[in-house]
Structure 1
Amino acid sequence: MTKDANTATQETLGGILEARDWSRMGEAWHEDVVDHDPAPGQAPGLAGIVDFWEEFTTAFPDVTLEADPLVVTDDFITAVFTIHGTHTGPFQGHEPTGRSFTVRGIQVSKFVDGKIAERWGSTDQKGIEEQLQLGSSDVRFVSEG
């Protein structure tokens, strides 16, 4: 595929995440996507990605992702991003705190036939724990859009 095709898919994914239209996630992700950094208990493939985002946006309904920079090749997109959210719903065993967080993260997506086939990512989990005052826990999540 080309940089332009991958960028178009990334933009589609951003629109899906913004609209919270989980039924469209297959437009951006392969059904059998390999997530190299899944959240605890996350199912494999597209179903796991969808389940994660449903839980995450229920826990943090105002979540936003701002990518800067975005590095695009014919096979990969690397996004460095800032993520903001307010903890108003249960998340990974933690009751809502009402507190907000702002942290940075990175995601690398490998594209095959215009869809994400593999992902690697890391977000400042410790920063989220501290800002939400969750204490020492195993808060882990995929990040991206």
Structure 2
Amino acid sequence: MYIAMNAEANKRVVRRFNKEVIQDGSRAAFVELMDESFANRSAPPGVANGPESMWSTFEHVLRPALSGLQVTIHEQLCDGDKVVTRKSITGTHTGPFMGLAATGKPVSIDVIDIVRVRDGRYVEHWGINTLQSVLAQLRAG
């Protein structure tokens, strides 16, 4: 019973992060949910992989580019302290987005994340997404 409750608590942490941090842009929730030792294992080589780099991605890249940004969680699985989430990040491309001027087009980025949670906080992240193919579609017109 303890494991099931712990799994549900960890999934709640990840759902809260997606809603309050990614979708709503809450800095307070980010600080509360992000461990100081956090490492983004999916950061490109040579790019910072700590907590502030994750915040910067949401606050300075994703949120300004996509109006009406929403995160839809399709599925979550938990194994020990790791939560796997299959989700979509959607919005309308109304601001500069990784060197691409606003197109006004709808955007949907599919994501699969693995987050290791310790004591209710993010400590590690791995992820794959369709961002590059979305950018290619936007560039193609």
Calculate the TM-score normalised by the size of structure 2. Answer: 0.81
> Which shifted more, 5-14 or 75-84?
5-14
Match of 2:138 in 1: 132
Counterparts of 2:132 and 2:90, CA distance in 1: 14
Match of 2:94 in 1: 88
> Which shifted more, 17-26 or 50-59?
17-26
**Gaps spanning 5+ residues in structure 2: where?**
none
1:1-145 correspondence to structure 2 within 5 Å: 2-17=6-21, 18-38=23-43, 43-55=48-60, 56-133=62-139
Structure with the higher fraction of residues in helix conformation: 2
Structure with the higher fraction of residues in strand conformation: 2
**Gaps spanning 5+ residues in structure 1: where?**
136-145
Counterparts of 2:44 and 2:67, CA distance in 1: 18
Counterparts of 2:71 and 2:37, CA distance in 1: 24
Secondary structure in structure 2 of the residue aligned to 1:8: helix
Computed over aligned residues only, the root mean square deviation of the Cα atoms, in angstroms, reads: 2.3
Match of 1:139 in 2: none
* Count of aligned pairs between the two proteins: 135
Percentage of pairs with the same residue:
23
> Which shifted more, 49-58 or 6-15?
6-15
Counterparts of 1:53 and 1:134, CA distance in 2: 24
> Which shifted more, 68-77 or 88-97?
88-97
Secondary structure in structure 1 of the residue aligned to 2:67: coil
**1:53-75, Cα deviation, whole Å (9 max, x unpaired):** 10210111222221111102331
Q: Computing the radius of gyration over CA atoms, which structure comes out larger, 1 or 2?
A: 2
Task: Name the aligned partner's letter for residue 8 of structure 2.
Answer: D
Go from structure 1 to structure 2 and tell me whether the alpha carbon gap of 1:76 and 1:43 turns closer, same or farther (over 3 Å shift). same
Counterparts of 1:127 and 1:14, CA distance in 2: 22
